Chains A and B, each alone.
Chain A
Amino acid sequence: MVRARRETVIGIVVTSLPIVAAAIIAALLFPGGGERIIALFSIYLVAVLGIGIYAGNSGIVSFGHVGFMAIGAYASGLLTINPVIQKTSLPHLPQWLADMQLPFIPALAAALLVVVFVAVLIGIPIARLGGSAASIATLGFLIIVHVVLVASTNFTRGSQTFFGIPRAVGLWMALPFAIGAVAVARIYRDSTVGLKLRASREDEIAATAVGVNVRLHRFVSWVLGAVLAGVAGALLAHFIGAFSPKDFYFNLTFMLLAMLILGGVTTVSGAVGGTALIMVLVEMLRKFESGLDLGPISLPTVFGLTDIGVGLAILVVMYRLKDGLFGVRELDERLKFLRRFTENPNGVRSGSPETHISPPTGDGALRIENVSKTFSGLVALENANFNIEPGMVIGLIGPNGAGKSTLINSISGIVPPSTGRVLIDGREIASLPTHAVPVAGLGRTFQNIRLFRNLTVLENVVVAASAVRRHGEDPRDGARLALAEVGLGEYVDQLAGELSYGAQRRLEIARALALKPRYLLLDEPAAGMNPAETEDLMHVLDRIRSRYRLGLLVVEHDLKLIMRLCDKVVVLNKGQQIAVGAPAEVQSDPAVIEAYVGRRRPAVSGLDPRPKNAASLSAGRSLQHPALKPEGDLG
């Protein structure tokens, strides 16, 4: 069940109104030509939104949706075509198909079944791919559809024109589909499902780390987008009445993609605006294409002037306005005066006791048992072995390349360990799919900040909160609470990429907290922070661990922070776990001192790069010596 939020409904209304207005104006003032243009616009809009549902939310350009348009067009056309015409144009049709003549809507429904079947089939391999490889696979799909249409002469007349389809679609048939497509696209975009896919577009690894099953969501949006494209294809078929396979090939793909990106790939309002602008451009250029007689000057016929125009439009967007005319936010999200309709009527509920982040109770520990990781022969980590109990802070330190980040990545499942086990309360998690680990109670942050930069602060956290939401709960409440916990309650509507560095680090922590984890892995949370920010962070960490009885594992080079915050310290060196114990014990452990400063040995010559007195410093002081922070703040 999809429950549209108030903002979504307002967004749909704001986006649809201009379309409806244009339709009414066209019907009243320009019957005929004007109506046809708006009808065509509506059809293209459905197709563009179909591509946008997949491409905009997943960040993968699709060349394949025109293939679904073709399937929709031919499948519905075969069912509605006049049997008399069909008998002469397609004499080899199977009898059951030749006898069938349906009205448009049932034919559309039947065509969509075909589209969904094909979309599911082809979606399975494509959902496994990301980035450019996925785009090229969709291109492969388009070619397959084209080849099949041309080759299946008994059904499609091959590359010849497929004609005799009743022109059942006019403005008032196309318009409701356009509005419906706007609604579907917008509801999907704003739903938590769409939000998760948008998060994966921004950062696939971080999305997985907050419980997003990226493949599943790519697949869902692929099929949903295919359905819209199929609708658009059927509409177009019954609007123009005759077509051939080349009408559903690269030229159409090219124009639809231009429509999508001119307005901005990621928004529904962008799709509407871009479609309108390109339609205007194409209509204007088409007039010039066949040559023009301006009294004394007559312009020659130019082939493909529209292609040049569309191509230049794409280039302008790519060079000048990377995110398109409408940017990454919906139109209504930018209009301030619409805000008052969208305010939460119940007021801010955050802080009310029943919505408190409450980790599932249960004793036990996060056990790291003999975890090892080798990268093609190189042993990065060998037999890490320790426990993290709820409410405890464990520090993980060690020189550069000691295996700290490898350990965190192995525990969180991003880079599964080669051997060994990771258990939460006795439950093995290293064998779970990566996106299931966070939901099992393990949150993490990254050494290099990985936020969903083009999502708002609130959306960043909602992605995580919705992964663990219970029935009937609004993930936004949990998200607001987590943000308040790290002091970002004021910034909910800013884009994450616009936050200051320190705030971005805290946002990562809030995002991990929203998973209601029992254990939290923090990879250098204070890296690059100034002393005041570090001090703040320490208070936040100390508070959350005692309030929620969280077990924390903190990788940090700021040893002062480690020594003050941690109950226990684990020291890694060259992939080996060389010490575990209370901070004071570890500080005086000879093996640790050796790892950090080297063994005392007779001074040989000036060749020794270490400060001469390093080895003679007391262990406690030596560990705090600034020169002994082995990695710089660059992380």
Chain B
Amino acid sequence: MDMFLQQLVNALSLGGTYALLALGLAVVFSIMGLINFAHGELMTAAGYGLIFSLLLGVPFALALPAAVVVAILLAVLMERVAFRSVRGASGTTLLLTSFAVSAIIRVLFQNFISARPMAVRIPMALSGTIEIAGLHLGIIQAISILVTIAMLVGLNLFLHRTVLGRAMRAAAEDFAIVRLMGIRANAVVATAFAISGLLAGVAGVLWVAQRGSVDPLMGFLPVLKAFIAAIIGGLGSLSGAVAGGFLLGFTEVFLQAFLPESLLSYRDAFAIILVIAVLLYAPQGLLARRTVVKL
């Protein structure tokens, strides 16, 4: 039972990170139909932001928000430079554009920063464990779960309580109408990107804190998994993205725990197969957004 609870905590922590990433993807997708391949580079950028802030002597507690700000800025910049001119184009065009942007940014990281992993000094205070009711809980894991919850609650409040948040929910339904209501399209799209940058930045910092190093490819694999989480949840559905992220996290952690030793290296393959099998039963994803097609 202890073992089970321990795995549950692991799953919550990993699933939470996937959920944050998938949510960032879904926010942008719901507004402009873009699956942003370069989302992983936002995560990596946050990692580098953390490293360079620390190198500049910024205290750790301030370096964390600085790292997130780097990701937000890069997200907004990306939208302005790369995606604004293809806004409204087909999903395929957007997908391929972001694929190219992602590759280019990755090469820039390799050339201007380093192709090799760079270590991050995580304060000792964070690497310990705490014991709650017999459970050994990594401090970083605990923080990561709490931060995930805070982000989800905060985003929910933003989307339901503020004008811009409401405009964004409306834009996900029908962008043209929102613009007719006098909301500036650029503001909505830029906010969507800023939010996705924020979520990717937070996920990136949590990721780095658990692994202790940053390399140009760091964000790539988790974001690929977040894509899969997002389609399982139903593309463009925010709650679906969160559900998909947790589902994938749980699947991975429990496969890790219960697969026989000889099959462990196949874990990711099993996880993706299991999750894609969901699509046989719910081709639109678990919590698909109902789209109204005018015939």
Enumerate chain A residues within 8 angstroms of B228, measured Cβ to Cβ. Answer: 136, 139-140
CA distance A254 to B110 in the complex (A): 17
Which of A61, A133, A151, A523 has the most chain B CB atoms inside 10 A of its CB?
A133
Nearest CB on A from B106, distance (A) = 7
- Tell me if A135 counts as interface (CB < 8 A to partner B): yes
Query: Who on chain B is nearest to A204 by CB?
Result: B293
Q: A129-B279, A144-B272, A303-B110 are in contact. Are A311 and B266 (CB under 8 A)?
A: no
A446: chain B residues within 8 A (beta carbon): 295
Instruction: Please indicate the chain A residues that have their CB under 8 angstroms from the CB of B111 in the complex.
Output: 302-304
The 8 A CB mask of B265-295 against A (1 = contact, 0 = none) is 1111100110111011001110000000111
The 6 closest A-B pairs by CB, nearest first: A151-B265, A304-B107, A314-B100, A311-B100, A147-B269, A311-B104
The minimal Cβ–Cβ distance linking A61 to chain B, given in whole angstroms, is 5
Could you say which residues of chain A place their CB within 8 Å of the CB of B267? 147
CA distance A303 to B230 in the complex (A): 32
A60 contacts across to B, CB distance below 8 A: 92
Q: Tell whether A447 is near chain B: CB-to-CB under 8 Å.
A: yes
Q: Which of B81-102 contact A (CB under 8 A)?
A: 82, 85-86, 89, 91-93, 95-97, 99-101
Q: State the interface size on chain A (CB cutoff 8 A).
A: 51
Establish whether residues A135 and B295, one from each chain, have CB atoms under 8 Å apart when the complex forms: no
The docked-state distance in angstroms from the alpha carbon of A75 to that of B265 is 20
Interface check B103, CB cutoff 8 A: yes
Residues of A participating in the B interface, judged by any CB pair closer than 8 Å:
59-61, 124-125, 128-129, 131-133, 135-137, 139-140, 143-144, 147-148, 150-151, 205, 250, 254, 257-258, 261, 265, 302-305, 307-308, 310-312, 314-315, 318-319, 322, 405, 409, 414-415, 446-448, 450, 523
A133–B275 CA distance with the chains assembled, in angstroms: 13
Q: Is B227 an interface residue (CB 8 A)?
A: yes
A304: nearest chain-B partner, CB-CB:
B107
Q: Is the CB of B93 within 8 A of A304?
A: no
Please state if A136 and B231 are interface contacts (CB–CB under 8 Å): yes
Does any Cβ of A come within 8 Å of B115's Cβ? Answer: yes
B224 at the interface (CB under 8 A from A): yes
B279:A125 contact, CB within 8 angstroms: yes
Interface pair B103/A254, CB less than 8 Å apart: yes
A305 / chain B contacts, CB cutoff of 8 Å: 107
Contact: A143 with B279, CB < 8 Å? no
B245 to chain A: closest CB distance in Å? 14
B contact residues around A302 at 8 Å (CB): 111
- Taking a contact as CB atoms under 8 Å apart, the answer to whether A137 and B279 are in contact is yes
Task: Report how far A125 CA is from B230 CA in the complex, Å.
Answer: 17
B235 within 8 A of A: yes
Check A307–B103 contact: CB distance below 8 A. Answer: yes
Chain A residue nearest to B294 in the complex (CB): A448
Distance A344 CA – B6 CA, assembled complex (angstroms): 74
Chain A residues, Cβ within 8 Å of B101: 311, 315
- What's the nearest-Cβ distance from chain B to residue A145, in Å? 8
In the assembled complex, which residues on chain B have CB atoms less than 8 Å from the CB atom of A150? 265
B35 CB within 8 Å of chain A: yes
Task: Give the residues in chain A near B283, CB-CB below 8 Å.
Answer: 128-129, 133
Q: Would you give 6 A-B contacts (Cβ < 8 Å), ordered by A? A: A132-B235, A133-B279, A135-B95, A250-B220, A304-B107, A319-B86
Contact between A205 and B293 (Cβ–Cβ < 8 Å)? yes
Q: By the criterion CB–CB under 8 Å, are A125 and B280 in contact?
A: yes
| Complex Cα spacing A314 to B99, Å | 9
Q: How far is the CB of A274 from chain B (nearest CB, A)?
A: 13
B95 — which chain A residues lie within 8 A by C-beta?
61, 132, 135
Q: In the complex, which of the residues B86, B103, B227, B284 contacts A310, with contact meaning CB atoms closer than 8 Å?
A: B103
Q: How far is the CB of A361 from chain B (nearest CB, A)?
A: 31
Of B93, B106, B230, B276, most A-chain CB atoms within 10 Å? B276
User: Do A315 and B235 touch (CB < 8 A)?
Assistant: no
**B237: shortest Cβ distance to chain A, in Å?**
12
A interface, by DSSP: helix, strand, loop or mixed? helix
Q: Tell me, rounded to whole Å, the shortest Cβ–Cβ distance linking A391 to chain B.
A: 27
CA distance A276 to B91 in the complex (A): 26
The residue that B97 contacts in the complex, of A133, A144, A318, with Cβ under 8 A, is A318
- Structural contact, A140 and B272, CB atoms closer than 8 A: yes
Report how many residues on chain B are interfacial, defined by Cβ distance under 8 Å: 48
List 19 additional contacts besides A136-B228, A257-B99; criterion CB under 8 Å.
A125-B277, A132-B35, A132-B95, A133-B231, A136-B230, A137-B279, A139-B224, A144-B268, A147-B272, A148-B269, A250-B220, A257-B96, A311-B100, A311-B103, A311-B104, A312-B100, A312-B104, A405-B295, A446-B295
For A142, the closest partner residue in chain B by CB is B224
A59 and B277 CA atoms in complex are apart in Å by 23
Chain B residue contacts of A205, Cβ below 8 A: 293, 295
Known contacts A133-B231, A136-B228, A148-B269; A315/B279 CB under 8 A? no
Known A-B contacts A140-B276, A143-B268; the reply to A447 vs B295 at CB < 8 A is yes
Q: Which residues of B contact A311 (CB under 8 A)?
A: 100-101, 103-104, 107
* Nearest CB in chain B: distance from A461 CB, A: 20
- By a CB distance below 8 angstroms, the chain B residues around A308 are 103-104, 107
How far, in whole Å, are A28 and B104 apart by their CA atoms in the complex? 38
- In the assembled complex, how far is the CB of residue A146 from the closest CB belonging to chain B, in whole angstroms? 9
Complex interface residues of chain B between 101 and 153 (CB less than 8 A to chain A): 101, 103-104, 106-107, 110-111, 115
Inter-chain contacts of B272 with A (CB < 8 A): 140, 143-144, 147
With both chains docked as a complex, state the minimum distance between the C-beta of B248 and any C-beta of chain A, in angstroms: 11
For residue A593, give the distance in angstroms from its CB to the closest CB of chain B.
29
Residues of A within 8 A of B35 (CB): 132, 135-136
Chain B residue, CB-CB nearest to A409: B295
Interface hub of A60, A132, A304, A523 (most chain B Cβ within 10 A): A132
| Structural contact, B96 and A261, CB atoms closer than 8 A | yes
Residue B85 contacts which of A59, A250, A319 (CB distance < 8 angstroms)? Answer: A319
**Whose C-beta in chain A lies nearest to the C-beta of B265?**
A151
Which residues from chain A contact B224 at a C-beta distance below 8 Å?
139, 143
Nearest Cβ on chain B to A533's Cβ, whole angstroms? 22
Please report the C-alpha to C-alpha distance between residue A617 and residue B183 in the assembled complex, in whole angstroms. Answer: 44
List B12-46 residues whose CB lies under 8 Å from chain A: 29, 33, 35
A298 to chain B, nearest CB (A): 16
Q: How far is the CB of B247 from chain A (nearest CB, A)?
A: 14
> Looking across the interface, which residue of chain B has its beta carbon closest to that of A444?
B295
Q: Which residue of chain B is the closest to A305 with respect to CB atoms?
A: B107
Complex: chain A residue closest to B115, CB-CB: A303
Known: A128-B279, A129-B283. A304 touches B106 (CB 8 A): yes
Chain A neighbourhood of B99, CB < 8 A: 254, 257, 314
Expressed in whole angstroms, the Cα–Cα distance for A303 and B267 within the complex equals: 32
Residues of B within 8 A of A143 (CB): 224, 268-269, 272
Instruction: Give A32 to B131 CA distance when docked, in angstroms.
Output: 68
A136 in contact with B227 given A318-B96, A523-B295 (CB within 8 Å): yes
Q: Shortest Cβ distance from A197 into chain B, in angstroms? A: 15
Nearest chain B CB to A378 CB, angstrom units: 12
Instruction: Tell me whether A314 and B279 are in contact (CB under 8 A).
Output: no
Residues of B within 8 A of A310 (CB): 100, 103
A314 engages B97 (CB within 8 Å)? yes
- Which of chain B's residues has its CB closest to A448's CB? B294
The chain B residue with its CB closest to the CB of A316 is B100
Residues in B whose Cβ lies below 8 Å from that of A128: 279-280, 283
Q: Are A303 and B107 in contact (CB under 8 A)?
A: yes
**Closest CB in chain A relative to B17 CB, distance in Å:** 17
Contacts of A415 in B (CB 8 A): 295
Q: How long is the Cα–Cα vector from A310 to B100 in the complex, in angstroms?
A: 8
The distance from the CB of A626 to the nearest CB of chain B, in whole angstroms, is 25
A315 touches B97 (CB 8 A): yes
- Cα–Cα distance between A175 and B262 once the two chains are bound (Å): 42
* Contact A322–B93 (Cβ < 8 Å): yes
B29 proximity list for chain A (CB < 8 A): 132
Q: With both chains docked as a complex, state the minimum distance between the C-beta of B53 and any C-beta of chain A, in angstroms.
A: 25
Output the least CB separation between A257 and chain B (Å): 7
Q: Which residues of chain A are near B103, meaning CB under 8 Å?
A: 254, 307-308, 310-311
CB distance from A285 to the nearest CB of B (A): 11
Cross-chain contact of A315 among B82, B268, B273, B293 (Cβ < 8 A): B82
Q: Which chain B positions have C-beta within 8 A of A136? A: 35, 227-228, 230-231
